[in-house]
Amino acid sequence: MTKRRVAVIAGAGPAGLTAAWELLARTDIVPIVLEATEATGGIAQTFEYKGNRIDIGGHRFFSKNQRVMDWWFSILPRQGAPAADDGARKHEVEFAGDVTVRRLTRDATGATRVIEERRAAPDPEREDAVMLQRPRLSRIYWRENFFPYPLGITLLVAWRLGLVNTALIALSYLKARLFLRRDETYLDAFFANRFGERLYETFFRGYTEKVWGVPCSQIRADWGAQRIKGLSLTRAVSHAVRDLLSSDFEKHQRERETSLITRFFYPKLGPGQIWEIVARQVADAGGTVRHGAAVTGVTLDGDRVSRVTVRDARTGEVEEIACDYFFSTMPVRELVSMCRPAPAPRVHEVASGLRYRDFLTVGLLLRRLHVRERGREPQAMVGDNWIYVQDESVDVGRIQVFNNWSPYLVADPENTVWIGLEYFVDESDALWRARDADLIAQAKRELEQIGVALPADVLDGCVLRMPKAYPAYFGTYDQLGVVRDWVRGIPNLFCIGRNGMHRYNNQDHSMLTAMLAVDNIIAGRSDDSNLWDVNLEMVYQEE
Choosing from 6, 7, 8, 10, the residue that interacts with ligand FAD (CB under 6 A) is 10
Query: Residue 53 in contact with residue 47, Cβ under 8 Å?
Result: yes
C-alpha distances out from residue 143 to 87, 99, 170, 294, Å: 33, 46, 20, 45
Choosing from 35, 85, 86, 243, the residue that interacts with ligand FAD (CB under 6 A) is 35
Choosing from 23, 24, 30, 60, the residue that interacts with ligand FAD (CB under 6 A) is 60
Query: Residue 421 in contact with residue 436, Cβ under 8 Å?
Result: no
Q: Where does this chain touch ligand FAD (CB under 6 A) — which range of 168-176, 443-451, 505-513, 526-534? A: 505-513
Minimum separation from the CB atom of position 253 to ligand FAD (A): 28
Please name which of 376, 382, 413, 377 lies closest in space to residue 400, comparing C-alpha atoms: 382
Choosing from 334, 395, 446, 528, the residue that interacts with ligand FAD (CB under 6 A) is 334
**Quick one: DSSP state of residue 68?**
H
Minimum separation from the CB atom of position 340 to ligand FAD (A): 15
Minimum separation from the CB atom of position 296 to ligand FAD (A): 7
Q: Where does this chain touch ligand FAD (CB under 6 A) — which range of 72-80, 103-111, 346-354, 506-514? A: 506-514
C-alpha distances out from residue 128 to 32, 125, 402, 406, Å: 27, 8, 17, 12
Taking CB under 6 A as the rule, does residue 31 contact ligand FAD?
A: no
Residues in contact with 342: Cβ distance below 8 Å, sequence separation at least 6, in sequence order = 348
Minimum separation from the CB atom of position 43 to ligand FAD (A): 3
Choosing from 507, 516, 520, 521, the residue that interacts with ligand FAD (CB under 6 A) is 507
What one-character-per-residue DSSP string does 126-169 give?
A: T-SS-EEEEEE-EEEEETTEEEESS----HHHHHHH-HHHHHHH
Choosing from 12, 187, 192, 401, the residue that interacts with ligand FAD (CB under 6 A) is 12
Choosing from 147, 200, 359, 402, the residue that interacts with ligand FAD (CB under 6 A) is 359
| CB nearer ligand FAD, residue 136 or residue 198 | 136
Q: How far is it, in rounded angstroms, from Cα 353 to Cα 355?
A: 6
Taking CB under 6 A as the rule, does residue 420 contact ligand FAD?
A: no
Taking CB under 6 A as the rule, does residue 22 contact ligand FAD?
A: no
Taking CB under 6 A as the rule, does residue 13 contact ligand FAD?
A: yes
Pick out residues in 132-161 that bind ligand FAD (CB under 6 A): none
Taking CB under 6 A as the rule, does residue 287 contact ligand FAD?
A: no
Please name which of 239, 84, 87, 83 lies closest in space to residue 152, comparing C-alpha atoms: 239
Q: Indicate the SS3 state at residue 326.
A: strand
Q: How far apart, in Å, do the first and last CA atoms of the chain sit? A: 51
Residues 523-542, one symbol each (x = binds ligand FAD by CB under 6 A, - = not), give -------------------x
Query: Which phi and psi angles does 322 have, rounded to 5°?
Result: -75, 145
Residues 106-125, one symbol each (x = binds ligand FAD by CB under 6 A, - = not), give --------------------
Taking CB under 6 A as the rule, does residue 382 contact ligand FAD?
A: no
| Torsional sign, CA 225, 227, 233, 238 | positive
Taking CB under 6 A as the rule, does residue 329 contact ligand FAD?
A: yes
Q: Indicate the SS3 state at residue 245.
A: helix
Residues forming contacts to ligand FAD in the complex (CB under 6 A) are 10-16, 34-37, 42-44, 57-60, 294-295, 329-330, 334, 359, 469-470, 497-500, 505-508, 510, 542
